[in-house]
Structure 1
């Protein structure tokens, strides 16, 4: 059960992030908080479904009720649905920050808690519905005591034009479009920030060496650090998979269980799953208010016990 402890730790970290962000005391806007909470929830679901229900079950609980064909077909749908949501919630957050930083006229209308809720709900509903057909591409690998066991892709999935088109559509939606959109939005955001910083420094006399405290620039700096760290982590950890998919489609060659390519394939998907475990650490590293809330949450039970002891002991 070597994988169990890390997964338990990642679940706890994501749960802590969800609780702290939901309290709204991290100095972030309600809109930003809503996106970050949604991303943390999606990441937690990826860990539960992809790692626990799929990977650990495959290695340690083979033959359990989770391997009944209808059950593992549902897990297949959930696996792709949660991964898509985790990726596209990052895209929606990046777009929201792009609007907030670069489009001041749209900011007041778009960057609201109501709009964020609608965007996140629409995105989640769409991607779970998009993956429902995956339930029907599975067939039993074995029939044991009249119970269909295990899941295997139907042969028609690899040859039928409809399923081939669905597979391409799925790959384009995740990860190619998110990859391109995040890179584009970040490039435009960096360009806008650099131009705005030069203009603002000139207006405030920074160009002449005068030191002024600029709350607006400090707020932009914090938003920039959070945005680029989250989206940069996504790009770096998903890049090997993007390269692998392109290479596979060009060469059409697979890997065997006994060659180095199979190990490389597993590392690629490990990095993809790891992307869903890093966001909570990024909050802690980049956001001082988040760290303060974590420290307060850790101190609270200790302080409560000490206060109880002080009252109990005369």
Structure 2
């Protein structure tokens, strides 16, 4: 997930947005290279989103499917799923490379990427756009909501059974560490679902508007309200790739412990050096005496 999200930042933010703003006449603006970078943007986005879905499914299996847990939650399974998601993301977004044409040709060199007019009228391209949007983000919306809802339902039912088995001792229920861990899991799952849906919602609404109005995607008129909304949706979409990994990582106790160790390591090294120097000085004073 971290690698996929980093790819989104590299391709979407650095090689696309920052390049447009500060290096508009670089070699990255040649139409073939520009089209290739945009295709990489969509590949990395799909990879990031679907790894979030697979991670959500992984947590669902761990919590709700104890019989499947030992078979599914293995290093080999994870490697196969990550590879499959990456390969499918590539094949799904290959057509993206072919939807652009040069905005202008200077000295027989094609510059910039402009969406072909046929992209909005051709039945094939319209079908592809629907397929792309259903696959990302509509299907992840549904799957993440469904899996997290089932997981939360399972946790709540397990807590009720556990409370009945432990009796009606309120203080014991309040100090139950297992119940507290499950409560934190519910908060995590709700945060992931809400974060993903909220940050992708603007992008989804813009797509729906394109289908039922005369507006066009990837327009360059920054005085137009739809263009502003579309660009804001892209920004929030990039933010989503960062926050999901952050939420998953910070919620893990082992990650927090490792982070504390990394932060404390320089100070511990300095303390050890100071301790050794103090010990040597004490020994030297003893020898002199």
- TM-score range (shorter-chain normalised) is 0.7 to 0.9
Pick closer, same or farther for the CA change 1:225–1:117 going to 2, 3 Å: farther
Q: Which segment is superposed worse, 73-82 or 187-196?
A: 187-196
Q: Which segment is superposed worse, 299-308 or 86-95?
A: 299-308
Flag the structure with more relative contact order, 1 or 2, with Cα contacts below 8 A and sequence separation at least 6: 1
- For residues 4-83 of structure 1, the aligned pairs below 5 Å read 39-83=1-45
CA contact (8 A) 1:74 1:135 kept: yes
Q: TM-score, normalised by structure 1?
A: 0.79
Pick closer, same or farther for the CA change 1:285–1:117 going to 2, 3 Å: closer
CA contact (8 A) 1:139 1:151 kept: yes
Q: Which residue of 2 aligns with 1:239?
A: 201
Pick closer, same or farther for the CA change 1:164–1:284 going to 2, 3 Å: closer
Structure 2 residue matching 1:253: 3-state secondary structure: coil
Q: Which residue of 1 aligns with 2:287?
A: none
Q: Which residue of 2 aligns with 1:152?
A: 114
CA contact (8 A) 2:62 2:73 kept: yes
- For residues 140-289 of structure 1, the aligned pairs below 5 Å read 140-205=102-167, 207-209=168-170, 211=172, 214=176, 216-254=178-216, 256-283=221-248, 285-289=250-254
Aligned length: 275
Q: Which residue of 2 aligns with 1:132?
A: 94
Q: Which residue of 1 aligns with 2:258?
A: 293
Using the alignment, how far apart are the partners of 1:99 and 1:52 within structure 2?
36
**Displacement of 1:210:** 5.2
**Displacement of 1:94:** 1.1
Using the alignment, how far apart are the partners of 2:244 and 2:134 within structure 1?
24
Structure 2 residue matching 1:258: 3-state secondary structure: coil
Q: Which segment is superposed worse, 113-122 or 236-245?
A: 236-245
Using the alignment, how far apart are the partners of 1:240 and 1:183 within structure 2?
18
Using the alignment, how far apart are the partners of 1:160 and 1:43 within structure 2?
32
**Displacement of 1:259:** 3.5
Q: Which residue of 2 aligns with 1:105?
A: 67
Using the alignment, how far apart are the partners of 1:93 and 1:281 within structure 2?
14
Pick closer, same or farther for the CA change 1:142–1:260 going to 2, 3 Å: closer
Q: Which residue of 1 aligns with 2:284?
A: none
Structure 2 residue matching 1:257: 3-state secondary structure: coil
Q: Which segment is superposed worse, 158-167 or 259-268?
A: 259-268
Structure 2 residue matching 1:211: 3-state secondary structure: helix
CA RMSD of aligned residues (A): 2.4
CA contact (8 A) 1:140 1:149 kept: yes
Q: Which segment is superposed worse, 161-170 or 252-261?
A: 252-261
Q: TM-score, normalised by structure 2?
A: 0.85
2:57 corresponds to which of 71, 91, 95: 95
Larger radius of gyration: 2
Using the alignment, how far apart are the partners of 2:215 and 2:97 within structure 1?
26
Using the alignment, how far apart are the partners of 1:113 and 1:226 within structure 2?
23
- How far does the alpha carbon of each residue in 1:246-266 deviate from its partner, in whole angstroms, 9 at most, with x for none? 233233435853143433332
CA contact (8 A) 1:101 1:220 kept: no
Q: Which residue of 2 aligns with 1:30?
A: none
